[in-house]
Amino acid sequence: MKIQVVTDILAANDRIAEENRRLFAAKRVYVINLMSSPGAGKTSLVEKTILALRDRFRIGVVEGDIQSTADAERVAALDTPVVQINTGGGCHLDANMVREALPGLDLDSLNLLIVENVGNLVCPAEFQVGEDAKVMILSTPEGADKPLKYPLIFTESQVMLLNKIDLLPHLDFDLEKARRASLALNPSLEIFAVSCRTGEGLSAWFDWLAGRVSAVREGKGR
């Protein structure tokens, strides 16, 4: 019976996610669902991405946290429209939460919507929100064994950013081991090794994202 309940919940979420996806497609807004464990660098990546692309695209953000508005305040300081979702203990954002947040954004004026999910390597991967791509961050202090421990998020994501590579000289982190393990789960996974602190590697991520946003804005597909 428990299995059926979970199946029903996911099916209901997928229906709402598809409604969100049709809305985003009609508005020509490209949407990423950004996921990672706490402290991996999601908000730092959001900030760097906004600063790099805001002269080319109009960007909005949905911030998901258990509580507080600290991350939303960081985004708002960049003159970027942002809506905060506090889950009150929930470990992920779902499609209905995102749908309820959308009236706080003018989708007609946006090209890119970044949904920053709750910090968690497990639950967010199970729930679509209507995104075009799931993007995950794995930071070097977390260890290279995470693909083995949390395979679903690696399987479901289209992009992985290996963040905090500036710390590699000080850590026992095997970059190639992490790459191999991730690609074994998802051979089509795009991987970018980056440092949000120094900026190393971020240009490749910006180029990848800009290409997708431009294609959707120009009506060339998703």
- Of the candidates 96, 70, 92, 94, the one whose C-alpha atom is nearest the C-alpha of residue 82 is 70
Counting the structural domains of the chain, the total is 1
Three-point CA angle 65, 69, 74, nearest 5°: 105
125 inside domain: yes
Handedness of CA 72, 74, 75, 79 (dihedral sign): positive
85 inside domain: yes
Rg (CA), the chain: 17
Residue segments in the chain with a per-residue pLDDT below the cut of 50: 1-3, 5
Q: What is the pLDDT of residue 5?
A: 47
Q: CB neighbours of 36 closer than 8 A, spacing ≥ 6?
A: 42, 119, 121, 136, 137, 138, 139
The residues with which 60 forms a beta bridge, in sequence order, are 113
| Residue 87's CATH number | 3.40.50.300
Phi-psi region of 200 (alpha: psi -120 to 50; beta: other; left: phi over 0): beta
Q: What is the pLDDT of residue 116?
A: 98
165 inside domain: yes
222 inside domain: no
Q: What is the pLDDT of residue 219?
A: 87
Burial annotation 195-205 (CB, 10 A radius, 16+ → b, else e): bbeeeebbeeb
Q: What is the pLDDT of residue 7?
A: 66
104 inside domain: yes
Domain span at 193? 2-217
Three-point CA angle 81, 60, 91, nearest 5°: 100
- The 8-class DSSP code of residue 201 comes to T
Q: What is the pLDDT of residue 1?
A: 41
Q: What is the mean pLDDT of the chain?
A: 95
pTM over 0.85? The answer is yes
